[in-house]
A = this chain, B = another copy of it.
Amino acid sequence: MKTSKKFLLQECDIPTQWYNILADMPNQPAPLLNPGTREPLKPEEMEGLFAKALVEQEFSTERFIDIPDEVRQLYKAYRPTPLVRAYALEKALGTPSKIFFKNESVSPVGSHKMNTAIAQAYYNAEQGIKLLTTETGAGQWGSAMSAACRHFGLELMVFMVKNSYNAKPYRKHVIHTYGGKVAASPSNLTDYGKKLLAEDPENQGSLGIAISEAVEMAVKSGNARYTLGSVLNHVLLHQTIIGLEAEKQMEMAGEYPDKVIACFGGGSNFGGVSFPFLRRVLNGERKLTAIAAEPAACPKLTTGKLEYDFGDTAGMTPLIPMYTLGHDFQPEQIHAAGLRYHGGGRIVSQLKKDGFIESCAIDQDETFRAGILFARTEGIIPAPESTHAIAATIREALKAKESGKGEVLLFNLSGHGFLDMGAYEKYV
């Protein structure tokens, strides 16, 4: 019997720098624009919304950016995460391909979101900020920020998409247990929320609306800043710790991926796992395909348009040049709430335009079938978001079976599904 095999690094192998793919891109993405003047946004214009160090990272084109020692120490609570050769899944599929996954579900909050939550809380605390605001869809990001804020003594206000708030009560309990506050969005805590509730008291919310509320509260509160769990350059930067570790682990395994696959919401776990590998492509050292697995209900990279759009629904954020379904797009209520975002962010969108990234759109039934097969072979119940990466990997593995030509596939298991068991029950 060939059971799954882990490739493990030591704590001393945790990278000391994050990787900034902007340094290697042949074409830089168009700039963010000030929503009022439509002029390129200056760093100082973002500093009322984000910690100064994070704004610097957002605009940086340095190839490698040092991870502060305190952040790296906290990473040691769960990093390095395992890379796993999924022999049992391979066998169940009868594929000649070799399947590897990076297991980010082992973080204390159950997802990769911890990687940037720690960094964002750290920089805000360093600057003396007292209150952070944020949004959350599935609740993974809110949970991670709540744990991180507790560590640094920061207050946290999470606007949670109302549909998730009601459908996933355990997630808000997790946020509370770590000490964060959480409100169903749209809420009565902001002018924008009040306006929406006045129009429709049953408004179920969206990530875009929750962002608008969190931004409004950060701007109107004293000594507060907003934090975002995906989309922006600095968030993807922090997540490259995933791919940097995975590179070393693939080397341990004696393999290099032909395809790197991740689910795609705002791009943070996708960019995190794929950018260090794409660096070799941009440098001409290697060939590989990076595949973003989107939900059919919200396929911005697959069917969206590349244009300037707002990051939120109310139009309060800078304008972002990205593949988008429109900032007022309301995706249907799929279980993978973390993927219900309308836009693809600057870097990923430019890479997609330039042909370095592919995408596919997968419907919910297929993703849950993939998640159940993964649970029954590899033993881990994946988050609904992560099942998209698994489903896309299975598609590739079955293609290889047909062609008889095996490939090396690497996907990112962004989180576990323990808090989404209600969704699974409907599919078993």
Contact = CB atoms under 8 A, between A and B. Distances in A.
Contacts of A5: 76
Interface of A: 1, 3-6, 8, 10-11, 70, 73-74, 76-77, 88, 106, 108-110, 147, 150-151, 169-171, 173-174, 176-179, 372, 375-376, 378-381, 418-419, 421-422, 424-425, 428
Contacts of A424: 173, 176-177
Contact of A3 (B4, B73, B174, B418): B73
A176 B179 CA distance: 32
3 pairs of A and B residues whose beta carbons are closest in the complex: A173-B421, A170-B421, A418-B418
Contacts of A110: 418
B169 A380 contact: no
B11 A108 contact: no
Nearest to A2: B73
A68 B147 CA distance: 40
A425 B173 contact: yes
A10 B77 CA distance: 17
Given A110-B418, A177-B372, A177-B424, 13 more contacts: A3-B73, A3-B76, A6-B11, A8-B11, A106-B106, A108-B379, A170-B419, A170-B422, A173-B422, A176-B425, A177-B421, A177-B428, A418-B419
B108 A3 contact: no
Contacts of A421: 169-171, 173-174, 177, 419
12 contacts: A3-B73, A77-B379, A88-B151, A110-B418, A150-B376, A151-B379, A173-B424, A176-B425, A177-B376, A177-B381, A177-B425, A178-B375
Contacts of A88: 151
A410 to B, nearest CB: 19
Contacts of A70: 1
A118 B110 CA distance: 23
Contacts of A418: 110, 170, 174, 418-419
A15 B173 CA distance: 38
A64 to B, nearest CB: 23
Contacts of A77: 3-4, 6, 379
A36 B109 CA distance: 51
Contacts of A1: 70, 73
A1 to B, nearest CB: 6
A378 B76 CA distance: 12
A47 to B, nearest CB: 26
A6 B10 CA distance: 11
A77 B174 CA distance: 26
A147 B379 contact: yes
Nearest to A173: B421
Nearest to A426: B173
Contacts of A6: 11, 76-77
A375 B177 contact: yes
